[in-house]
Homo-oligomer: A and B are copies of this chain.
Amino acid sequence: MSVSGTSEVNRFIAGHTPSPETRPNVNLSDCPSRLVLEHVTSRWGVLVLAALLERSYRFSELRREISGVSEKMLAQTLQTLERDGFVHRDAKPVIPPRVDYSLTALGRQAAEQVWALARWAEGSLPEVFAARSAYDGVRV
Contacts and interface: CB of A to CB of B under 8 A. Distances in A.
Interface of A: 1-6, 9, 14-15, 26-27, 31-38, 40-41, 43-44, 46-47, 50-51, 54, 65-69, 82-85, 106, 109-110, 113-114, 116-122, 124-125, 127-136
B5 A66 contact: yes
Count of chain copies: 2
6 tightest Cβ-Cβ pairs between the two chains A and B: A85-B131, A41-B41, A33-B121, A33-B122, A36-B121, A6-B68
Nearest to A7: B68
A26 B106 contact: no
A68 B4 contact: yes
Nearest to A9: B68
A119 B109 CA distance: 13
